[in-house]
Structure 1
Amino acid sequence: MIKPREKAPELEIKLVNGSTWKLSDQSPKNFTLVLFYRGKHCPVCKSQLEDLQRKLDKFTDRGVNVIAISADTEDVAKATHEAWDIADIPLGYGLSIEEARTWGLFISEGIKEEPKHFTEPGLFLVTPEQTIYWESIQSMPFGRPSFNDVLGGIDYILKADYPARGEA
């Protein structure tokens, strides 16, 4: 488990647009939001990412870079990008289960039409210095933080110069 104020694991991931995204290359004004989602098989993920797309400019306005990542294959991730209304979200794929574990994500074994193994949801705010500021990790597809709550939290953090919590 990574605690707030600790260095985030390095993350290098391929994007559906053909480029590679590296956490250490990010230089946001305030934060990088790393959103791990279950994959194309998940209707809750579709709703969450489409909500993120609608609010993307609100994150950008607050100096927050955004990426969404799954363990899906390239073909499945590209199909996701085409099928879901998420055109402006950098979409990463191919996260290994081992790498997911370094982030403290829960891993599930697939049932029915799901992949053999996949990550459960996780949301991380990472500082420009690549330390963990905020993390929300789920063991189920339900109960994710709303983006309105996250945006409100960011507003308070920036206004009050509020420190990362949970480090002790």
Structure 2
Amino acid sequence: MLKPRTKVPELNLKLVNGTSWTLSEQTPDNFTMVIFYRGLHCPICKTYLEELQTKLKDFTAKGVNVIAISSDSEERAKEQYDKWKIADIPLGYNFSIQNAREWGLYVSKGIKDKEPDMFIEPGLFLIKPDGTLYSASIQTMPFARPEFDDLLNAIGYITKNDYPARGEA
């Protein structure tokens, strides 16, 4: 289990735009927000990321870098990028099940034709510029994810009041 105030595992990913992304190379003013999502087969993920697209400038204004990551293949990730309204969100793919387990994510076996054999369940992590975990929200299914407006308000409070990460004990 990852604990707040400790280093998170490194992330090195290819993005659908042909570039690479590395967590340790991020230089946000406040946080890097890493969103793990189920993939192309998930209509709730589509809605969630499309909402994120509308709030992306708000997160940037609060000093937050954002990335969304799935275990989908490059082909499936590019299909999402083309079909979903998420043009400005860095989209990583081929996140391994082994790496997902290192992050404490839940993993599901596909039960429908449109689902991959195995895929990750959602998680949202706020990571400080020094690579330590500030907060995590991890789900076992696609429902009940953190609301972006709530996160934006929380980040405002956290940065204004220098509120420490909690849950480290």
Residue 155 of structure 2 is matched in structure 1 by 154
Tell me how far apart the structure 2 counterparts of residues 144 and 7 of structure 1 sit (CA, whole Å): 23
Deviations 1:55-78 (A, max 9, x none): 000000000000000000000000
What percent of counterpart residues are identical? Answer: 63
Normalised TM-score (structure 1): 0.99
State whether structure 2 residue 145 is matched by structure 1 residue 144.
yes
Residue 105 of structure 2 is matched in structure 1 by 105
Give the aligned residue type for 1:122. G
What stretches of structure 1 move > 4 A for 4+ residues in a row?
A: none
Residue 116 of structure 2 is matched in structure 1 by 115
Give the aligned residue type for 1:69. I
Tell me how far apart the structure 2 counterparts of residues 38 and 94 of structure 1 sit (CA, whole Å): 12
| Residue aligned with 1:158, SS | helix
Tell me how far apart the structure 1 counterparts of residues 20 and 102 of structure 2 sit (CA, whole Å): 20
Matched residue pairs, number? 168
Tell me how far apart the structure 2 counterparts of residues 6 and 109 of structure 1 sit (CA, whole Å): 30
Normalised TM-score (structure 2): 0.99
Give the aligned residue type for 1:123. L
| Residue aligned with 2:33, SS | strand
| Residue aligned with 1:68, SS | strand
- Quote how far apart the aligned CAs of 1:159 are: 1.0
What is the RMSD computed on CA atoms of the aligned residues?
A: 0.4
- Quote how far apart the aligned CAs of 1:164 are: 0.2
| Residue aligned with 1:4, SS | coil
After superposition, residues 1-168 of structure 1 pair within 5 angstroms as: 1-112=1-112, 113-168=114-169
Structure 1 residue runs of 5 or longer lacking an equivalent are none
